[in-house]
Amino acid sequence: MISRLVAFDTTSENSNLELIAFVRDYLASHGVESTLVPSEEGDKASLFATIGPKDAAGVALSGHTDCVPVTGQPWSTDPFAVVEKDGRLYGRGTCDMKGFVAIALAMVPAFLEKPLRTPIHLALSYDEETACTGVRPMIAELGERLPMPRACIVGEPTRMGVVDAHKTITDYVTVVTGHEAHSSLIDKGANAILAAGELLCELARMRDDMIAMGDPTGRFTPAYTTVHTGLISGGTAHNIVPLKCRFEWEVRSLPGFDPDTLKHRLQTFGEQHVLPKLRAIAPTTNIETTTTVDVIGLAPDPGSPAETLAMRLAGSNKTQTVSYATEAGLFQERGVPSIVCGPGDIAQAHQPDEYIEVTQVEACVGFMQRLAEAARAGI
């Protein structure tokens, strides 16, 4: 099943409909109905299916069907054909996170054999890798067209550890508009790149302040809210005072911290220290920051049905945290107790020659078998 799913090139820029059609046909062959929640454009879809009774709240197994690009990565094998070597399964998405989805699907016959008193829901989404967008319309239908689960397990790679908290990810784009001029007449121009440089220095100061603030819980690595910028572009020629400069920056914030406080801080700094100098040259200059991605964090919920169940199934007596984001916080916001627990190591995700260890697959199969027994007894 892992091989079948990896063979679909569901890089986020592509459609996932062929994979979803395969899953839907597979479930139908076992007598399991599924509901699709298509994207607005109709080129992608999420899938929700229930195994077991339809009149009870169940446990949702949530996973995304998209993967990140392989372009420019030095793969040793075909990234869309699973290769087993030295106890590892190589292929794009084996770890993040078609491995978990495939295991859940492969367990469907075992789930059906029990029979289940507590249903198990499959919640498969799209475009998690871009902005966690595909799962949102499906979550919005919980309690309406779709049943409301009593707990959700998101199968992102945690080496089968139980994660009860993760950071929020918020991405911003800042665009500086200056005023063009010949570089021999720089007094007539407002340099957008130099202005952006001043803003980037403020981001560096914000980063240092977040490091100094630290993590009061002592649970996260890195142990602070992180501030990062990864892309910058601007200008048209070396002898033209640049009109535009654009940079993208990211905040991965600890639970309870509002990342927009940093957005407002940058805006205030720009308005007070950068924009006046630009507008002294030209009134049309501007600094604008917009939010492009906002994936809320997962907050600890000690003793929740999701945490209690996952710890029992994983044979664990403690929880942990991660610094990447998942859809778990979105389920939690909707009122569904959620945790993250899945096979594989996040260090292998998005890498060339991505792999998942066979032992991790086996550990997840055991987890699913124990889930089946718990659902049979009535969780």
Annotated active-site residue in 9, 66, 96, 202: 66
2-166+297-377, CATH topology level: Aminopeptidase (3.40.630)
Say whether 144 is catalytic: no
CA-derived radius of gyration, the chain: 24
The number of residues in the chain equals 379
**Three-state SS at 60:** strand
User: Is pTM beyond 0.85 here?
Assistant: yes
Task: Give per-residue pLDDT as tens, 51-110.
Answer: 999 989 999 999 999 999 999 999 999 999 999 999 999 999 999 999 999 999 999 999
Domain boundaries, the chain: 2-166+297-377, 171-295
Calculate mean pLDDT across residues 12-24.
97
Q: Report CA 70 to chain centroid distance, whole Å.
A: 18
Calculate mean pLDDT across residues 337-358.
97
Q: pLDDT exceeding 90 applies to what percent of the chain?
A: 98
Classify residue 91 as left (phi > 0), alpha (psi -120 to 50) or beta: left
Q: Mean pLDDT over all residues of the chain?
A: 97
Nearest C-alpha neighbor of 192 from the set 261, 270, 278, 117: 278
Task: Give per-residue pLDDT as tens, 160-175.
Answer: 999 999 999 999 999 9
Say whether 248 is catalytic: no
Task: Give per-residue pLDDT as tens, 128-151.
Answer: 998 899 999 999 999 999 999 999
How many C-beta neighbours within 10 Å does residue 55 have? 7
Annotated active-site residue in 128, 156, 164, 202: 128
Task: Give per-residue pLDDT as tens, 273-296.
Answer: 999 999 999 999 999 999 999 999
Helix axes 17-29, 98-106, angle to 10 degrees: 20
Specify the pLDDT at position 55.
87
Specify the pLDDT at position 265.
98
Beta-sheet pairing, 120-125 with 59-64: parallel
Classify domain 171-295 at the CATH class level: alpha beta
Q: What is the dihedral of CA 296, 302, 307, 312, to 10 degrees?
A: 160
**Three-state SS at 131:** helix
Specify the pLDDT at position 66.
97
Task: Give per-residue pLDDT as tens, 227-270.
Answer: 999 999 999 999 999 999 999 999 999 988 999 999 999 999 99
- In whole angstroms, give the CA distance from residue 76 to residue 352: 8
User: Does residue 379 have a pLDDT over 90?
Assistant: no
